[in-house]
Amino acid sequence: MGEDNLAYTSATEMAARIRSGDLTAQEAVEASFERIRERNDDINAFVTLLEEAAMERAREADEAVAAGEPLGPLHGVPIAIKDLFDFKAGVRNTMGSAPFEEFVPEETATYVRRLEEAGAIVVGKTNTPSFGHKGTTDNLLFGPTSTPFDLERNAGGSSGGSAAAVADGLVPIAQGSDGGGSVRIPASFSGVYGLKASYGRVAQAIRPDAFLSHTPMIHAGPIARTVEDAALMLDVMAGPDPRDPLSVPDEDPDYRGAVHRGVEGLSIAYSPDFDVFPVDERVRDVVDDAVDAFEDAGATVERVDLGIDVDQQELADIWLRQIAGLYHSAIEGFKDEGMDLLGDHRDEMVPELVDLLEDTRDMSLLEYKRDDHVRTRVYDAVQDVFEQYDLLVTPTLAVPPVENTEGKGGTVGPTEIDGEDVDPLIGWCLTYPINFTGHPAASAPAGLTDDGLPVGMQLIGDRFDDETVLAASGALERANPWHDHYPPR
């Protein structure tokens, strides 16, 4: 079975074929590695490959099929895992940071374990910026990851390696994490579908700080080429864990069924700029056109003002301070393992991350909680929308994919859009406010600019209403299929 036959096969179809005997897990996994060998030098998606272990898992998967054993929903399907806090025991995990070049965790992340228990086969770890601190994927260890739509431009971050791998057919699905848009940003830049479920829906049993993920709200989620694949993957990843005090009860949702539910009678609020963000005209034009698909599918769409009363630069500053607080907690944990990142390893760290950590080292508890007061106003503005509407739609990002810089580590977003200053790390992303709030949100491909660059549309649901996000995403996919947009290679 050649890789060209499988490069753009969905995970849902691949799993069904493996179960039926029409395809073996070994063929699926070998096709993935063939594609990686062909394409990874160009896009730089994978930073660690597990070929020997993956092929052994594939052989075991085929033996299970032959023996008639019970099979998981992702049995034999090759997947990619992000190289951040998404640990797989015994596998190098760099977090995109030179001090961790040889770091090997002893524990497996909850959601990674669930994916493997469902039969998925991890073929490797994917590139990310150092500690996931920005909306582009580039670091001093491995350099930038490129979107397959233009190899001179970035795949987005911080789950850029996962998104690029899916977009370029290296794997059908991949795992990402999202603390400010890190699933949705690269989904937009790479022309794929990325889903951030409601906060707590996917358990994360983090240690030594079990409460690490709440400020801003950190989520793990699927990246896929089809909405159905994302729903299948979420089915596997979701659910509470008694070791995660912030996970929410399982309410037996029907994620896969929601994809086919339709949006007839749905009321959709459309904000072309989240009230306060400057948005590139090329992005605005694509999303304006794409929103019409919901009306064609039977929904009503109205433009709205959310009533956000905080400047976008102040919002970005708050997010940076909050994510820095998370990093400080993580860094303290690594000190217990004998690694002082701001001491012995300071020169190995990305300069803007060191600056952020230094600027926030002495932030007071009062300052920290004052930011939460502003965060609450953003939450109220978003939540108020759902008193009248079922869904909130915005552009995912304010710009199309940005160009990679020369060398390693320096790629960031724009500093200015339409004459307005924005923070280059995160200020051009209309995603991070939803990490203040924890609402479910996805980025779906909205279309291409005139010069062929992908643009994403952000779909935001009411608290814990992940199914409506999936239903609207499925309707958009049926109305404006994006699967033929991927560059032929």
178 in a structural domain: yes
Which alpha helices (H) appear in 44-68, and where do they start and end? Answer: 51-66
Tens digits of residue pLDDT in 302-350: 999 999 999 999 999 999 999 999 999 999 888 887 889 989 899 999 9
CB-side exposure of 58: number of CA atoms within 13 Å? 24
pLDDT value at 226 more than 70: yes
Whole-number CA gyration radius for the chain: 21
Residue 190 CA to residue 120 CA, distance in Å, equals: 23
Question: Could you tell me the sign of the dihedral formed by the alpha carbons of 386, 388, 391, 396, in that order?
Answer: negative
Q: Quick check: is 216 in a domain? A: yes
Domain count, the chain: 1
Active-site residue among 10, 32, 158, 188? 158
- What does the alpha-carbon distance between residue 307 and residue 30 come to, in Å, rounded to a whole number? 52
Calpha distance 186→197 (Å, rounded): 16
User: 101 or 337: which carries more pLDDT confidence?
Assistant: 101
Distance CA(275)–CA(280), nearest Å, equals: 14
Spatial distance between the Cα atoms of 240 and 110, rounded to a whole number of angstroms: 10
| Domain presence at residue 117 | yes
Burial of 59 (0-12, 13-18, 19+ CB in 10 A): middle
Q: Maximum distance among all alpha carbons in the chain?
A: 65
Q: DSSP class of residue 115?
A: H
Catalytic status, residue 182:
yes
| Domain housing 123 | 3-479
Q: Is residue 472 part of a domain?
A: yes
pLDDT tens for each residue of 134-145: 999 999 999 999
- Residue 486 inside a domain? The answer is no
Is residue 484 domain-resident?
no
Active site residue 88: no
Residue 470 has pLDDT above 90, yes or no: yes
158 is catalytic: yes
Confidence (pLDDT) at 105: 96
**pLDDT (average), residues 263-271:** 98
**219, HSE (Cβ side, Cα atoms, 13 Å):** 33
**What is the phi-psi region of residue 254: left when phi exceeds 0, alpha when psi lies from -120 to 50, beta otherwise?**
beta
- Please state whether the predicted TM-score (pTM) of the whole model is above 0.95: yes
Catalytic annotation, pick one of 130, 182, 190, 247:
182
User: Residue 251's pLDDT band (boundaries 50, 70, 90)?
Assistant: confident
- Inform me whether the pLDDT recorded for 2 exceeds 50: no
Catalytic residue among 10, 32, 82, 162: 82
The verdict on residue 106 lying in a domain is: yes
Give the Cβ contact number of residue 421 at 10 Å: 13
Provide DSSP, 204-252.
---SS-TTTTBTTBPEEEEEESSHHHHHHHHHHH-B--TT-TT------
- Render pLDDT for 26-48 as a digit per residue (tens, 0 to 9): 999 999 999 999 999 999 999 99
Distance CA(377)–CA(309), nearest Å, equals 8
Residue 173 maps to a domain: yes
Tell me, what CATH number does 159's domain have?
Answer: 3.90.1300.10
Nearest-angstrom CA–CA distance, 186 and 401:
9
